Amino acid sequence: MNEHINGIDVAALKDFAQSIVEDPSKRHARFNVKTNWEHQTRSVGTVTRYHLSGNDYSRHFEIAADEPAELLGTNSAPNPQELLMAALNACLTVGYVANASAMGITIHSLQIETDGELDLRGFLGLDENVNPGYDEVSFTVRIHTDASLQKVQELHRISTKTSVNLANFSNAIRMVPTLEVITG
């Protein structure tokens, strides 16, 4: 019998995790996004594939980004900072739901709110001593469940410890830039 908690097939989740433990060739996932500038500050990222556990999978999603009019955009889509925070929140959400399901915790509602402040002098190149990125980002998890406080605290500990995007926010990532110039 397959038990579903929070919409997650718990047996399938455990089987997937066990397959990673048993077969080192299944440990890796690779994601790719190609982004094209459209006009002004608007761009559209396109997802066409991902690689998981030795297999390639096709898919198609478009992710638009733009700046508000006050930042010289057309306000046609979330800006990159909002998308960054949405990506963090989405990753944390997956972690909370999957881990809660594995722990037998039913979630009635879950909301994650993230907030950060930038000093625009860094972004605009007005002061080389100012970080163009965030010095601090805070997030609040609001969870409604019937689980005990102790179980929810353990869920919080596990979910924040294993979140890919929280790790990406918290730790420096080695970036490998390549510039390809097309002339003429």
Query: Is pLDDT of 36 > 60?
Result: yes
- Give the pLDDT of residue 2: 63
- Give the pLDDT of residue 169: 94
Q: Band of the pLDDT at 184, cuts 50, 70, 90?
A: confident
Q: Report d(CA 36, CA 80) in Å as an integer.
A: 14
Query: Cβ(96)–Cβ(73) under 8 Å?
Result: no
Enumerate the β-bridge partners of residue 107: 145
pLDDT per residue as tens digits for the range 79-117: 999 999 999 999 999 999 999 999 999 999 999 999 999
Query: Is pLDDT of 1 > 80?
Result: no
Query: Cβ(81)–Cβ(149) under 8 Å?
Result: no
Query: Region 45-73: what's the mean pLDDT?
Result: 97
Q: What is the mean pLDDT of the chain?
A: 96
Query: Region 143-171: what's the mean pLDDT?
Result: 97
Q: Report d(CA 44, CA 42) in Å as an integer.
A: 7
Query: Region 20-37: what's the mean pLDDT?
Result: 95
Give 3-state DSSP helix, strand, coil % of the chain, rounded to 5. 35, 30, 35
- Give the pLDDT of residue 100: 97
Q: Report d(CA 175, CA 81) in Å as an integer.
A: 18
User: Hey, what domains does the chain have and what are their CATH numbers?
Assistant: 79-170 (3.30.300.20)
Q: Band of the pLDDT at 121, cuts 50, 70, 90?
A: very high
| Percentage of the chain modeled with pLDDT above 70 | 99
Query: Region 155-173: what's the mean pLDDT?
Result: 96
Q: Which of 1-10, 56-65, 148-157, 174-183 has the lowest mean pLDDT?
A: 1-10
